[in-house]
Structure 1
Amino acid sequence: MSVYDDKPWLARYDPGQPAAIEPEYDNALEMFRATAARTPGTDAIRYFDGRITFAELDRLTDSFAAALAAEGFAPGERLAIFAQNVPQFVIAQIGTWKAGGIAVSINPMNRERELTELLTDSGATVLVALQSLYRDVAAAVVGGTAVRTVITTSELEYRSGDEPAVLAGVQRIECPGTLDLAGLLDRYAGSAPPRVELGPDDIAFLTYTSGTTGPPKGAMTTHRNVVFNARTYRDWIGIGPDDVVLGVAPLFHITGLVGHIAISLLTGAPLVLMYRLDPALAVDTIAAERATFTVGSITVFIALMNVPDVDPAKLASFTKIYSGGAPIPPSTVEAFRATFGHYIHNIYGLTETTSPSHGVPFHAEAPVDPASGALSVGVPTYNTMVRVVDEDGRELPAGEIGELVTEGPQVVAGYWNKPDETATALPGGVLHTGDVGYMDADGWFYIVDRKKDQINAGGYKIWPREVEDVLYEHPGVREAAVVGVPDEYRGETVKAFVSLRGGATVTPEELVAFTRERMAAYKYPRQVEILDEIPKTVSGKVLRRELRIR
């Protein structure tokens, strides 16, 4: 008997009898071209006062792909995008596909060490970067990588009116030795690249994740994955051309890549970009653009509620709201509804599931586990099989806690050039998520813990060892251990415990500053506690559990 038998409204989401979605497009580029042909004059991207129609986006990406070909970029090569939420990100991604390449999205908060690691691992031969990021970070590292062409651009492009506060002080920067994107597009205007054939199993982009174990790995997201989960967003939530997508998630993240860009390319709904999230600007933008849909971390919605003197009427159109990437307190969902009148629907997935594998159906509300107070992450989405298994891989019945194992068309092909890690996390193409949870008797899933020690701060995944390695670079540090601790705003934040070398005098504030200079902003520890000794087992293993409860 299925747990859905007496719940007809959930029957279509039964993981035992999933609703089948037939392939609609062979690849994400075909998906975009169909929309551009269907609605050429509608807005594809809105960026402050700037507008780019689908027809214009088609022409711009043709020019970009033609320029890549002229620079010697060949099908199968990788192009890295190092930018905030700007139109050029979308232009570079689609243009890369038109040239037969693989896009590599890179967190704009990454510093030199992290950027070097990702460029080296991906073997990217072209880098598209904001001028400021090139000057401050990339210029020092590209010479030691496979990158042979650097294309720079300004966040001031594609807008012309009054300077928004989020861009205050931004100036155009000369970047010697690089190609200017605007000039490149002008030079190749009207040109078209050689036609390439992309199949559903070709890689659309590499998205770097810490995964379930170890340092960052490039998840190989195929065109099939992208098309399938774009359709999941469309059909699960009911997004169409009359909607307006607000881009609150970073475009480099799988949520931004699929829940913002791909859904817009599929449906023809305009994508509204704001460079980076500013809560007051977001509220005004929702009102001005009549935005209807977004998906982002719960910290986004907490920030919207905390805008001073916020006018709830400005969010009147904002009815299709989803949140994922971090645990959602039920009290926050209710506070948001009390403030704005709209319910936040939970959604769950990983980079390795190309965004959602579970979600709360749009016309439903997630139950709350009475024992733990946890909000359900939803039920498995279309064509998706999810099992809860024990340490030996045996499937567990409803109510018992184990690891979530996911199988479906959204599961990525593996990790770039890492067959061993692929075999461990994705044996036979089935994803062992590393997340621990359970399914209740009604078929709703709950996440209760992570199998490993990965930290989830506001949706950003942080590997403790990486932070520890940076702390060990400080001459005064003898030992370091990093854990995640509860945080009211980010859900979880990074805390470091440090013991010092004999005679060293180092303050917690100095160690915070030391790591802040060497790591992306979301990674460095917000708290540092200095101990005489780091607690360890007899065998020398750090007792992280003991540190978390200090």
Structure 2
Amino acid sequence: MSVYDKRPWLARYGDQPADYDLEFDDALSMFRAGVQRDPDGDALRYFDGTVVRRDLDATTDALAAGLLDAGLRRGDRVAVYLQNVPQFVLAVVGTWKAGGVVVPINPMSRARELSYLLADSGAAVLVCLEHLHDEVAREVVPGTGVHLVLTTSGLDLQTRDDQRLFAGVTRQRHEGTTDLLGFVERYRGRTPPPVDLGPDDVAFLTYTSGTTGVPKGAMNTHRNVVFTAQVYRDWMRAGRDGPVLALAPLFHITGLIGHVAVSLLAPAPLVLAYRYEPRVVLDALLEHRPAFTIGAITALTGLVDAPGCTRDHFASLTSVYSGGAAISPAAERRFLEATGTRVHNAYGLTETTSPMTVTPFGTPGPVDPASGALSVGVPAPNTVVRIQDDDGHDLPLGEVGEIVAEGPQVVPGYWGKPEQTAVDLPGGALRSGDVGIMDPEGWVYIVDRKKDMINASGYKVWPREVEDVLAEHPAVRESAVIGVPDERRGETVKAFVSLRPGTSATPEDLIAHCRERMAAYKYPRSVVLLDELPKTVTGKILRRELRGT
């Protein structure tokens, strides 16, 4: 047996639907239904500023009319190079109303990266922050097919100038650009012609991190988006009890679905705070009292460790999830002890439009006794998850292999890369590159990335297991484990560790801690203490940067 039957599981653990149909054919219809249900409710909250759904609808009508007037055609790409600001959602919905495809771009991207993404996607329009145009885009855009650049500022749509994030920031105007909000006002009152979007039309073109080569544009369809938004609402209780806090960056698939899409579907207010800064996020928790959030465990623990953090900051949150980086059992316990709120686990990739497995709301995730890994949940509805060997054959439940998923959230392919699509998505099933286990009840456990496995004297060592043991030490905040060359063993284990504020530990202390708890070939032979571990903007630790250290 390699695929479990979820029906007995659902009878024991909850009332989440095992399977369901799409409620809407496209994400734009999802947005319009939310406007009709609650036209005067808050759609967006940004510091002291708010945008109600009726106004967001009218503003996105104006943007769409302007984009069409500027020559945007159905299927054209609009690149969005912004932080977590209201204009991000404005650009998304306005692009859909014009029949376009949204290309979210990491605001940390520099010239080389931005140039590649604009060229590969064939973007016709760029929406970006003024300072990013000044620092990056101004030199890049002339060499691309972008014919309209709309700029905006994080100071727009807020009623106070927050000096923690905007000290010294002033509005900028650059030749060859158009002010986004001025552009919208020019077309205020105009309604774009109806657009007939379908489930198979591309909603987002989201780029993978490029850790195994150049970034690839995953084609997230409207079916993908609507389906996973329903999973967030039904299985994770997102948007059902109140506002959604945008803890993850909106350009990332977690932010696009777990923040933007689910807030449009529920509908629920989306609380934005420009970018992750613990003091600012803690203030947003008190001011807006959100009920749901999802983010990397590193971001969640960063809030707990921030000066002045109390349980009251988290009192309104009825549902908290972690995505983007694995959670250790120790990190889960610490968050629960500090906040009184359990953090649930979910697992997905860009190519699965966020979650493929989910820990259903209110259900504690089990820990695998062999690897010590906390489960990342069970397969989402309508989703089949398999554990396969290197030849693509299903393995029995309980055996370690590559996690493979197929379902309504899996993208149909990569933009302009049919050969890579055939390799990573054979027959429409995603080969994740992650190694894991599935138990007889359907709980999935991630062991590690295939490429990160360490071969020490012929024994397999998965970095994740060593990192989980390190997390049990009271002084350890974060860790990353890699394999390094060793004359006698071939490879040996090396750990990089950052400590919790106000604690101390030596490398020898941490090595001894692991040696007492692990087989001899697994514990790290060396430990390097760092103030901060290198991470992506979504909180994933960059082991590749540590390999040259």
TM range (shorter): 0.7 to 0.9
For 1:427 and 1:5, locate their aligned partners in 2 and report how far apart those are by CA, in whole Å. 27
**Equivalent in the alignment of 2:134:** 135
Do the aligned partners of residues 4 and 80 (structure 1) sit closer, same or farther apart at CA in structure 2, a change above 3 Å counting? closer
**Equivalent in the alignment of 1:64:** 63
Do the aligned partners of residues 262 and 310 (structure 1) sit closer, same or farther apart at CA in structure 2, a change above 3 Å counting? same
Cα deviation for residue 529 of structure 1 reads: 5.2
- Give the match's secondary structure for 2:142: helix
**Equivalent in the alignment of 2:470:** none
Q: Superposed, which structure 2 residues align to 1:352-501 within 5 Å? A: 352-452=351-451, 486-488=496-498
**Equivalent in the alignment of 1:208:** 207
Cα deviation for residue 370 of structure 1 reads: 2.0
For 2:99 and 2:112, locate their aligned partners in 1 and report how far apart those are by CA, in whole Å. 29
- Give the match's secondary structure for 1:29: helix
1:204-230 superposed Cα distances (whole Å, 9 cap, x missing partner): 010000478421000000000000000
The residue identity in structure 1 corresponding to 2:62 is: S
- Give the match's secondary structure for 2:448: strand
Q: Does 1:152 pair with 2:129? A: no
Q: Does 1:46 pair with 2:49? A: no
Do the aligned partners of residues 489 and 192 (structure 1) sit closer, same or farther apart at CA in structure 2, a change above 3 Å counting? farther
Whether contact under 8 Å (2:245, 2:292) holds in the other structure is yes
For 1:101 and 1:124, locate their aligned partners in 2 and report how far apart those are by CA, in whole Å. 10
Q: Does 1:350 pair with 2:349? A: yes
Q: Superposed, which structure 2 residues align to 1:516-531 within 5 Å? A: 527=546
- Give the match's secondary structure for 1:428: helix
Cα deviation for residue 135 of structure 1 reads: 0.4
For 1:192 and 1:166, locate their aligned partners in 2 and report how far apart those are by CA, in whole Å. 35
For 1:261 and 1:446, locate their aligned partners in 2 and report how far apart those are by CA, in whole Å. 28
Do the aligned partners of residues 163 and 369 (structure 1) sit closer, same or farther apart at CA in structure 2, a change above 3 Å counting? same
- Give the match's secondary structure for 1:81: strand
Q: Pick which of 39-48 and 163-172 moved more.
A: 163-172
Whether contact under 8 Å (1:353, 1:410) holds in the other structure is yes
1:51-108 superposed Cα distances (whole Å, 9 cap, x missing partner): 0011111011001001101111111100000010000111001100000000000000
**Equivalent in the alignment of 1:243:** 242
**Equivalent in the alignment of 1:283:** 282
Q: Does 1:309 pair with 2:300? A: no
Cα deviation for residue 231 of structure 1 reads: 0.3
The residue identity in structure 2 corresponding to 1:196 is: V
1:436-457 superposed Cα distances (whole Å, 9 cap, x missing partner): 1111233211111212359999
For 2:160 and 2:108, locate their aligned partners in 1 and report how far apart those are by CA, in whole Å. 27
Whether contact under 8 Å (1:13, 1:379) holds in the other structure is no
- Give the match's secondary structure for 1:138: helix
The residue identity in structure 1 corresponding to 2:225 is: V
For 2:126 and 2:544, locate their aligned partners in 1 and report how far apart those are by CA, in whole Å. 29
The residue identity in structure 2 corresponding to 1:228 is: F
The residue identity in structure 1 corresponding to 2:308 is: D
Cα deviation for residue 122 of structure 1 reads: 0.2
Do the aligned partners of residues 529 and 20 (structure 1) sit closer, same or farther apart at CA in structure 2, a change above 3 Å counting? closer
For 2:425 and 2:343, locate their aligned partners in 1 and report how far apart those are by CA, in whole Å. 31
Q: TM-score, normalised by structure 2?
A: 0.82
**Equivalent in the alignment of 1:540:** none
Do the aligned partners of residues 110 and 401 (structure 1) sit closer, same or farther apart at CA in structure 2, a change above 3 Å counting? same
The residue identity in structure 1 corresponding to 2:228 is: N
For 1:370 and 1:215, locate their aligned partners in 2 and report how far apart those are by CA, in whole Å. 37
- Give the match's secondary structure for 1:175: coil
For 2:148 and 2:282, locate their aligned partners in 1 and report how far apart those are by CA, in whole Å. 39
For 1:164 and 1:379, locate their aligned partners in 2 and report how far apart those are by CA, in whole Å. 43
For 1:84 and 1:450, locate their aligned partners in 2 and report how far apart those are by CA, in whole Å. 29
Q: Does 1:254 pair with 2:253? A: yes
Provide structure 2 residue ranges, at least 5 long, that are not aligned to the other structure: 454-462, 468-481, 483-492, 501-533
Cα deviation for residue 423 of structure 1 reads: 0.8
Whether contact under 8 Å (1:348, 1:378) holds in the other structure is yes
Whether contact under 8 Å (1:348, 1:357) holds in the other structure is yes
Whether contact under 8 Å (2:383, 2:406) holds in the other structure is yes
**Equivalent in the alignment of 1:83:** 82
For 1:23 and 1:70, locate their aligned partners in 2 and report how far apart those are by CA, in whole Å. 32
For 1:64 and 1:365, locate their aligned partners in 2 and report how far apart those are by CA, in whole Å. 44
**Equivalent in the alignment of 1:264:** 263
1:5-55 superposed Cα distances (whole Å, 9 cap, x missing partner): 7655457799xxx82211210100000011111110000000000000111
The residue identity in structure 2 corresponding to 1:33 is: R
- Give the match's secondary structure for 2:451: coil
1:427-471 superposed Cα distances (whole Å, 9 cap, x missing partner): 1111111111111233211111212359999xxxxxx9xxxxxxx
For 2:126 and 2:47, locate their aligned partners in 1 and report how far apart those are by CA, in whole Å. 25
- Give the match's secondary structure for 1:140: helix
1:495-537 superposed Cα distances (whole Å, 9 cap, x missing partner): xxxxxxxxxxxxxxxxxxxx99xxx99879765757xxxxxxx
**Equivalent in the alignment of 2:72:** 73
**Equivalent in the alignment of 2:323:** 324
- Give the match's secondary structure for 1:63: helix
For 2:71 and 2:277, locate their aligned partners in 1 and report how far apart those are by CA, in whole Å. 39
- Give the match's secondary structure for 1:438: strand
Whether contact under 8 Å (2:239, 2:291) holds in the other structure is no
1:176-217 superposed Cα distances (whole Å, 9 cap, x missing partner): 110111110111100111221101100001000047842100
For 1:213 and 1:392, locate their aligned partners in 2 and report how far apart those are by CA, in whole Å. 20
Do the aligned partners of residues 310 and 251 (structure 1) sit closer, same or farther apart at CA in structure 2, a change above 3 Å counting? same
For 1:325 and 1:521, locate their aligned partners in 2 and report how far apart those are by CA, in whole Å. 6
1:387-431 superposed Cα distances (whole Å, 9 cap, x missing partner): 101112111111100111101000011000000001111111111
The residue identity in structure 1 corresponding to 2:326 is: P
Cα deviation for residue 166 of structure 1 reads: 1.9
For 1:529 and 1:486, locate their aligned partners in 2 and report how far apart those are by CA, in whole Å. 12
CA RMSD of aligned residues (A): 2.8
Q: Superposed, which structure 2 residues align to 1:223-242 within 5 Å? A: 223-240=222-239, 242=241
For 1:484 and 1:219, locate their aligned partners in 2 and report how far apart those are by CA, in whole Å. 34
**Equivalent in the alignment of 1:468:** none
Cα deviation for residue 246 of structure 1 reads: 0.3
Cα deviation for residue 372 of structure 1 reads: 2.1
For 1:195 and 1:484, locate their aligned partners in 2 and report how far apart those are by CA, in whole Å. 58
For 1:436 and 1:13, locate their aligned partners in 2 and report how far apart those are by CA, in whole Å. 29
Do the aligned partners of residues 378 and 211 (structure 1) sit closer, same or farther apart at CA in structure 2, a change above 3 Å counting? farther
Whether contact under 8 Å (1:66, 1:191) holds in the other structure is yes
The residue identity in structure 2 corresponding to 1:71 is: A
For 2:242 and 2:195, locate their aligned partners in 1 and report how far apart those are by CA, in whole Å. 31
For 1:484 and 1:13, locate their aligned partners in 2 and report how far apart those are by CA, in whole Å. 44
- Give the match's secondary structure for 1:137: helix
The residue identity in structure 2 corresponding to 1:258 is: I
